[in-house]
Amino acid sequence: MYARLFKNITAFVTFVLVIQVIYDWSNYQGLLTNLNHTSHPERHFAIEEPPFVLIVCNDGKIHRTKGSTMTKFETQMRQAKVLIKSAVALNPATIRFILLGNDDTVLPAIEEYVSHWPDLFRNRLKLSYRPVIMPEGWHLMDLYEKCVTEKLFLPWVLSDFDSVVYLDTDHVFMRPPEHLVAHFKNFDDTQVLGVAPVDGYYLQHNIMIPYYGRQGLSSALLLANLTRWRDLPFDWLPMVTSVAKVFKEGIMGDQDILNLVFSEFPDYIYDLSCDWSGNIEQCLTVNWNCSSIEQTGFSLVHGARSRFFAEGLWNIRTIPHQLPFVIPMEEIFVAWERHDLTDSLSVLLQNLTKNLHTREDELRRAEASQEENMFCSYSFEKLLKQLNDLV
């Protein structure tokens, strides 16, 4: 019964979207004109590795979340620095990051941070900054987080690029970023976006909103072929606008919009394995299970929902239940943040492993548990396999 109901809902959604797109065509012309006038001119693309793109926006709020010493902007900046550090430390070749933001202090702050690195790593990094661009009247600009819907317009914001790798700032690498970029070569002739599966969110919530695949796609990581995105056989901006209007009561963010669109056009999606969206819940809960991660380990760790700082940000009443999820994510982030680039990766791995064993012992005593593995159903060291293979 539920399967038939969902199928009927999907068919109705498709019909509504088609009608809405036709209706919105004239409005779309104005949106596209505005966007094109403020974006970079088209040109022939240089043959180079796709850059990595981060969005770092200042919401202008100065209050701190209860239990935290940082504002949202300060948190994003801290995460961006550690993400870039992990990428440069693991990538043997030069790597480029484009920072999209609404605050001119972003690039100088990152450059000052990088200036303290050894020459070997500092010279391996290329940094640039561009202001965010939104279509005039785009009403979801500030939905969920400031500028978060900017990623929906990457093909036009970065009109001088063929392909990019977009990342939310709450990631750290556990293997060379070039391994992620290599997946572009596996795209077929039609695939536009490479995405990892989302955690158990859509399996537990928003079940009346169509989503991509078995459990939905995550918008936190996008391997984006911008040329193909611009050349989709349907017009992207009116489609996105229509989806936002039809589901305005149920949409929580850009991820919902991408899932709604590509649930109808799945052939444009390339599936990344779940180790590219690593979190500790993948080995603890049924809905978020990633069966392959025991063999592969984390390739990219995703600190969604403030997992990197969760002990300080979450309500104290929820912490005891969430500790097995919180501790490993926080320790991985802090290990990278504290890592001295003059030290080898083996030092990073040793420090991380030691700290995780210490925290695991503390949790075992606190819960009077006899369990051998407190963070996972198997040894957490298996999750560090990618890093261990580089040592």
| In the chain, where the domains are located | 2-272, 278-390
Please report, for the chain, how many H helices and E strands are present, in that order.
16, 9
* One pLDDT digit (tens) per residue for the chain, 391 residues: 444 444 444 554 454 454 444 444 344 344 444 444 333 344 455 557 999 999 999 987 776 655 567 888 999 999 999 999 999 999 999 999 999 999 999 999 999 999 999 999 999 999 999 999 877 766 655 555 668 789 999 999 999 999 999 999 999 999 999 999 999 999 999 999 999 998 767 766 656 778 898 889 999 999 999 999 999 999 998 888 888 888 877 787 889 999 999 999 999 999 999 999 988 777 766 556 788 888 999 999 999 888 898 655 444 444 456 667 778 899 999 999 999 999 999 999 999 999 999 999 988 888 888 888 888 888 889 999 999 999 9
| The pLDDT value given to residue 199 | 76
Residues in CB range of 141: below 8 A, 6 or more apart: 134, 147, 149
Return the bridge partners of 97, or none: 52, 127
Give Cα separations from 150 to 29, 62, 97, 133, 155 (angstroms): 19, 22, 16, 7, 10
Residues in CB range of 203: below 8 A, 6 or more apart: 215, 216, 287
Q: For residues 363 and 327, is the Cβ–Cβ distance under 8 A?
A: yes
Residue closest to 174 by CA, chosen among 6, 339, 365: 339
| The pLDDT value given to residue 50 | 98
Query: What dotted CATH number matches 2-272?
Result: 3.90.550
Residue 245: enclosing H or E segment and its boundaries? Answer: helix 236-246
Query: How far, in whole angstroms, is CA 283 from its chain's centroid?
Result: 20
